Structure 1
Amino acid sequence: MNQEKFKRRDFIGLVSKTSILGLAISPLATLADSTVPESKDSLPAEGHTFLTQPYLQHPGTDGMTIMWITARDAYSWVEYQEKGGTTKKAHAVTDGMVDANDRLHKVSLQELKPGTIYTYKVYAKEILSYEPYKITYGETIESSTYEFTTLALNPAEVSLLIMNDIHDRPQSIPQLMALNGNDPYDFVFFNGDIFDYQTDENQIIKNMINPCTTAFASTKPFMYVRGNHETRGKFARQLPAYFHNLDGGQYFSFTRGPVHFIALDTGEDKEDNHPVYAGLIDFDTYRKKQAIWLETQLKSKAYKKAKFKVVIMHIPHYHSGDGHGTLHCREVFGPLFNKYKIDLMICGHTHTYKVHPPEEGHQFPIIIGGGPKDGKRTLIKLKANERKLHLSMLADNGQEVGNYELSR
């Protein structure tokens, strides 16, 4: 896809001197977890514009989180409504203070109805001056109108799309999404190494968020776990602020329909004492901490009750060489996967797509998605109902290059 399409003017929306009087404000919607660390590497403020369309995060049966970025500091909010219902307003509140005077915006809507379509717009009122006892506002801009659907209660089925190892090739996101055609899906999952390393905010906008909103992300949510490349570069520590994972962390678990998912952050594949990191990483301790958390998830009622158990993580602990990250994941995670009998693992990292059936060492299949180059890229489609889980892996030419099926 021609990247000239991703120009900023495509995301500006309509500028208006909008009055917010008379809107019904949903109090509980404003009290969602809303802490957003301030960006440390600002873009030049070329007028009060949207740098991204809104993108959906943290989907739930009764909530949805909406994020977006502006070129200048602003006070922001969301206006939303159930189709045919009353328009409500929600903004983010942290410790009694409404979030404002920032460019990275996050509003979590609450008390929504399950399985219901909502329409929404995002707004940003520029803050020209923020003095101790006087705040001066500028123009208010608004986005186009979008819609999303909350998750149904106890759905019988789940469907998702998985991408990995994009490596700063933004055109790959809409191209791979197009392979899905018109098949329905609930959400998209990015399984690490979407970037080569972290440089600044503009890289995140240009190479991930804007391609996502163009393809799907203003109407369908996505989730994200880091790969080893996202731990590198001067902006790596700011990266988590641009996403809102379930549980608010870099690893998490969730149940959708008959499937219980566990998403792990496998960290860096190099040793912690590697000289390129100058003593500034400690992923061995981090993975050990995750292993303790992992066992609590594997013992949980949600895990035991699920028809299918799926782990998603970037570095596979087998079939990815003998690097330190691979071997340490094998040491701290591997015995738990076998002991508690996971059904399926989905990984990336190797840039070589492959379906590895169960064998000695891993008593479950490991599916590895492809790499960033043309002819190596893949889209993984996973669908499950109460009786069957089916995974299909498509190459970037549309040909199926792998599949796996589990039955109950």
Structure 2
Amino acid sequence: MKENLLKGNRRNFLKGGLVLGGLAVLKPEQVISSPLNDRYEDFRIITGPYLQTNFGNSISILWITSKDSSSWVEYGESPDQLDKKAYGKSDLGLKPAGRLNCVKLERLKTGVTYHYKIVSKEIKDFQPYKLTYGDTISGNIESFLNADVAKDEVSFVMLNDIHDRPKSIAHLLDLDKGNKRDFIFFNGDIFDYQTDERQIIEHMLQPCVDYFAKSTPFIYVRGNHETRGKFARDFADYYDHVGYTAFTLGPVRFVILDSGEDKLDSHPVYAGIVDFDRYREEQAAWLENEINRKEFKKAAFRVVLMHIPPRYSGDEHGAVHCTELFEPIMNRGKVDLVLSGHTHRYKIHPPDKKLNNYPIIIGGGPRDGSRTLTKINATNKQIQVSMVDDSGKEVGNYLVEKR
């Protein structure tokens, strides 16, 4: 009964919306229509820059232009001397020449602040033996700190289950205003489903650019809702990374898992064109190797971030599959903390010696009164977690001490 109530609470969150086959249908005024770039005849930067990284002395700078372009980043250690230039990754010897720009700055110096500027040159005509350029445009000079991966302390905040409520991003981050964070983590279901480019820009990228993303990187893993809709297969093109990965920052080994959809692969709404079971099995094999890596074993703490929690999220197939695949491996690997979303009910679940040997902290959302911001600070001795609701009131806290 409790599991069914939880599932119902999560499913019936859209105000005045309909639900068909488990997929939310927005009101007409909420529907995203044509791609945003169709509205522009001139050449311009539609959004950006925004930063992503895995903290390996590199950072990815992304932006979107209204038309195809040749693009690059000029950067350096002084705003008055941007003496280095970097382009997007070549594919088979061909530099990028499109609208979605991702330039990775590599071999950066540890603990150094870099200044940068994005530049794009319009491609007006692309013939087999003649390319005609148009205007060249650039952004303002921005800056970021290349973090020292060997630092003694790491801090970040987690947002989850925004569900196409872009104003929630600034609202929740305002609850942490004035604090310097190493990164912002988006733990899935930032959207209801994937419709088009305009939705991705207006409901996530632009709010991030406006608030923090020019100078502070974000990390993002899909939720089950990001797997839905006609634009789901284009979704990843707008980010440097949205799948599973692992990285070390300070005393923490971070492991990110993409929990996929919570429905059966055979569900009629997918018409036979998804394979999340195999995708999760692929991750389980990868995770088995990860827990045996020296970076994982030697870390003071091991933190897993995944949208669907490995327990306490109902009896849908995807949730059960996550428990079956990931929980035994995380127990063997002595994971210290799991951070999740999905249920729309914030909750702190302490370790259970018979089930999960680690605490599972679940953020809330997406409606007013149930939205949360989760703040995490980790040192070599402990991890402190504080969860606040959208009024700023602390609704949960937890302390993980080094074993």
Q: TM-score, normalised by structure 2?
A: 0.88
**Residue 276 of structure 2: aligned partner:** 283
Which of 368, 373, 398 is equivalent to 2:367? Answer: 373
Which of 234, 239, 244 is equivalent to 2:235? Answer: 239
Which of 175, 180, 183 is equivalent to 1:179? Answer: 175
**Residue 294 of structure 2: aligned partner:** 301
Q: How does 1:165-314 map to 2 (within 5 A)?
A: 165-245=161-241, 250-314=243-307
Q: Distance in 2 between matches of 1:238 and 1:64?
A: 22
* CA 85–70 in structure 1, closer or farther in 2 if over 3 Å, else same: closer
Q: Distance in 1 between matches of 2:316 and 2:359?
A: 21
Q: Distance in 2 between matches of 1:62 and 1:336?
A: 29
**Residue 121 of structure 1: aligned partner:** 117
**Residue 7 of structure 2: aligned partner:** none
**Residue 9 of structure 1: aligned partner:** none
Following TM superposition, the consecutive aligned residue runs of length 4 or more in structure 1 with deviations greater than 4 angstroms are none
Aligned length: 365
Q: How does 1:2-401 map to 2 (within 5 A)?
A: 43-44=37-38, 45-83=40-78, 85=81, 87-92=83-88, 93-100=90-97, 102-245=98-241, 250-359=243-352, 360-401=354-395
Q: Kindly provide the CA deviation profile for residues 115-140 of structure 1, in whole angstroms up to 9, marking residues without a partner as x.
A: 10111110111111011111111111
Q: Distance in 2 between matches of 1:399 and 1:383?
A: 18
Distance apart, 1:94 and its partner CA: 2.6
Whether the 8 Å contact between 2:54 and 2:247 is mirrored in structure 1 is no
* CA 271–61 in structure 1, closer or farther in 2 if over 3 Å, else same: closer
Distance apart, 1:153 and its partner CA: 4.2
Q: Distance in 2 between matches of 1:356 and 1:46?
A: 53
Q: Kindly provide the CA deviation profile for residues 304-332 of structure 1, in whole angstroms up to 9, marking residues without a partner as x.
A: 10111111100112211111111111111
Whether the 8 Å contact between 2:148 and 2:250 is mirrored in structure 1 is no
Q: Percent identity?
A: 51
Unpaired runs of 5+ residues, structure 1, are 1-39
Q: Distance in 2 between matches of 1:373 and 1:342?
A: 31
Q: Distance in 1 between matches of 2:60 and 2:318?
A: 32
Distance apart, 1:200 and its partner CA: 0.5
Distance apart, 1:62 and its partner CA: 2.5
Q: Distance in 2 between matches of 1:330 and 1:62?
A: 34
Q: Kindly provide the CA deviation profile for residues 263-310 of structure 1, in whole angstroms up to 9, marking residues without a partner as x.
A: 000000001111111111111111111100011011111111011111
Q: What root-mean-square deviation, in Å, do the aligned CA atoms of Structure 1 and Structure 2 show?
A: 1.4
**Residue 31 of structure 1: aligned partner:** none
Whether the 8 Å contact between 1:82 and 1:119 is mirrored in structure 2 is yes
**Residue type of the alignment partner of 1:133:** Y
Q: Kindly provide the CA deviation profile for residues 140-170 of structure 1, in whole angstroms up to 9, marking residues without a partner as x.
A: 1111111001111411111111110000000
Distance apart, 1:354 and its partner CA: 0.6
* CA 115–377 in structure 1, closer or farther in 2 if over 3 Å, else same: same
Distance apart, 1:46 and its partner CA: 3.0
Q: Kindly provide the CA deviation profile for residues 238-281 of structure 1, in whole angstroms up to 9, marking residues without a partner as x.
A: 11111112xxx610011110111110000000011111111111
Q: Distance in 2 between matches of 1:295 and 1:143?
A: 43
Q: Distance in 1 between matches of 2:200 and 2:52?
A: 15
Q: Distance in 2 between matches of 1:294 and 1:48?
A: 44
> Secondary structure at 2:64's aligned position in 1?
strand
> Secondary structure at 2:212's aligned position in 1?
helix
> Secondary structure at 1:273's aligned position in 2?
coil
**Residue type of the alignment partner of 1:356:** H
Q: Kindly provide the CA deviation profile for residues 342-392 of structure 1, in whole angstroms up to 9, marking residues without a partner as x.
A: 111100000000111112311111100001100111111111111111011
> Secondary structure at 2:184's aligned position in 1?
strand
Q: Distance in 2 between matches of 1:86 and 1:170?
A: 34
Q: Distance in 1 between matches of 2:95 and 2:262?
A: 40
**Residue type of the alignment partner of 2:94:** M
**Residue 11 of structure 2: aligned partner:** none
Q: Distance in 1 between matches of 2:74 and 2:233?
A: 31
Whether the 8 Å contact between 2:55 and 2:247 is mirrored in structure 1 is no
Whether the 8 Å contact between 1:59 and 1:151 is mirrored in structure 2 is no
Whether the 8 Å contact between 2:348 and 2:362 is mirrored in structure 1 is yes
Distance apart, 1:61 and its partner CA: 4.7
Q: TM-score, normalised by structure 1?
A: 0.87
Whether the 8 Å contact between 1:61 and 1:115 is mirrored in structure 2 is no
